[in-house]
């Protein structure tokens, strides 16, 4: 491998820049060229390339988002466009590709390998922490930290006015953000993505809290497949139980911002390891965290979503919020 292409795909997450920096600096230190591909697979199909050098990744380690930008590309789902992508890569003399993204992006990478034996290495980047066979995805802890700070602020108001708040966090079908934020903010309740909401229990819990002197209740709502379900819950609480709850949907503020230490540290290791894997012919592969260590595994292990074992924290949250 003499020229590595790198792109980000799917949703952005804080720490992607740390991974890009680590890839570029590792490759250059090994005498390998790096070509940045802008806007994910869509940019690849349009030939949006930028030559990376040591200074093109200077002063980005602390920046959220991704300097390469990212996208979703429906075209790339089709076999003929993936053929075109490989033709473009080869014409550009790119002979290995690093993909920073989620399980969807890894499926695209896997297809490049299966259909064209194009060498690919994945780096998991998504705030959702929802990829199989890795305990961690870059951006998760930053998103959690951002949500915790927001909930702490909401708690001030909730307490001052003795109110109930439904705070909706991101994560789509993954419970990871909701559970970690719930435990870390002392939430009175956590509603997971696929929970059928038991409004009666919710109201009973809130009233039990009030009876024992609580001045506020925070209910963390995982967004689930469609953001905004908090409003439905709010309406039922009002109409059927005459309970007023306020809604705060944290939304995209959770996606941006300066990456916390874990994201920088893990992304730096993953970027470095991804280059070594490409150079060592260890493809198709992906950098993962297993038992707390950053290591490589087969890409095929990481092409599905997973909801890990976060569910075990559900009981912890409930016990600590009585
Ligand atoms: P994420 O990578 O965060 O899971 P998406 O699921 O949106 O995000 O996938 C990002 C992009 O990866 C898609 O827009 C598409 O271009 C590509 N992709 C996703 N799934 C596949 C697939 N099965 N085959 C080929 N490409 C795919």
Distances in whole angstroms, Cα of residue 149 to Cα of each of 78, 80, 154, 156, 221: 42, 46, 9, 11, 16
Q: What pLDDT shows up at residue 309?
A: 63
CA distance 231 to 227: 10
CA distance 85 to 43: 10
Nearest CA to ligand 1 atom 20: 104
Q: What is the pTM of this model?
A: 0.96
Q: Are 125 and 100 contacting, i.e. CB atoms less than 8 angstroms apart?
A: yes
Is 128 among the residues known to form the active site?
A: yes
Quote ipTM for the complex: 0.98
Q: Rg of the chain over CA atoms, in angstroms?
A: 22
Ligand 1 proximity of 137 Cβ (cutoff 6 Å): no
CA distance 96 to 274: 11
Q: What pLDDT shows up at residue 279?
A: 98
Q: Which of 12, 128, 205, 262 is catalytic?
A: 128
Q: What pLDDT shows up at residue 307?
A: 85
Cα first-last separation, the chain: 58
Under DSSP, the state recorded for 121 is E
Q: What pLDDT shows up at residue 313?
A: 84
Nearest CA to ligand 1 atom 5: 104
Q: Are 12 and 65 contacting, i.e. CB atoms less than 8 angstroms apart?
A: yes
- Single out the residue of 179, 255, 161, 163 nearest to residue 221, CA to CA: 179
Q: Are 164 and 245 contacting, i.e. CB atoms less than 8 angstroms apart?
A: yes
- Single out the residue of 54, 88, 50, 83 nearest to residue 69, CA to CA: 50
Helical H segments across 250-321, by residue range = 261-279, 312-320
The 10 Å Cβ neighbour count of residue 93 is 11
Q: Are 205 and 191 contacting, i.e. CB atoms less than 8 angstroms apart?
A: no
Stretches where the chain sits below pLDDT 70 are 309
Ligand 1 proximity of 125 Cβ (cutoff 6 Å): no
Q: What pLDDT shows up at residue 41?
A: 98
């Amino acid at each position: 491998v003499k020229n590595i292409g790198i792109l980000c795909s799917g949703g952005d997450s804080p720490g992607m820049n740390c991974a890009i920096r680590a890839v570029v600096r590792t490759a250059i230190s090994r005498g390998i060229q790096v070509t940045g591909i802008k806007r994910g697979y869509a940019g690849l199909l349009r030939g949006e390339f930028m030559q990376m050098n040591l200074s093109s990744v200077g002063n980005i380690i602390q920046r959220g988002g991704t300097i390469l930008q990212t996208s979703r590309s429906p075209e790339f789902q089709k076999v003929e466009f993936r053929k075109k992508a490989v033709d473009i890569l080869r014409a550009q003399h790119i002979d290995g590709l690093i993909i920073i993204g989620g399980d969807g992006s890894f499926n695209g990478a896997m297809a490049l390998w299966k259909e064209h034996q194009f060498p690919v290495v994945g780096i998991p980047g998504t705030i959702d922490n929802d990829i199989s066979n890795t305990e961690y995805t870059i951006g998760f802890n930053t998103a959690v930290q951002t949500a915790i700070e927001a909930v702490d602020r909401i708690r001030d108001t909730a307490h001052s006015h003795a109110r109930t708040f439904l705070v909706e966090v991101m994560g789509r079908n993954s419970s990871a953000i909701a559970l970690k934020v719930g435990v870390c903010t002392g939430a009175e309740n956590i509603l997971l993505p696929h929970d059928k909401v038991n409004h009666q229990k919710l109201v009973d819990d809130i009233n039990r809290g009030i009876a024992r002197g609580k001045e506020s209740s925070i209910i963390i709502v995982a967004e689930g497949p469609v953001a905004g379900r908090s409003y439905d819950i709010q309406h039922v609480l009002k109409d059927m139980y005459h309970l007023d709850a306020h809604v705060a949907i944290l939304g995209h503020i959770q996606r941006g911002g300066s990456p916390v230490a874990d994201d920088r540290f893990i992304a730096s290791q993953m970027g470095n390891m991804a280059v070594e894997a490409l150079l060592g012919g260890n493809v198709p592969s992906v950098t993962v965290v297993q038992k707390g260590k950053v290591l490589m595994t087969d890409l095929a292990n990481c092409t599905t979503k997973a909801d890990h074992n976060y569910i075990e924290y559900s009981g912890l949250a409930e016990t600590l919020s009585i």
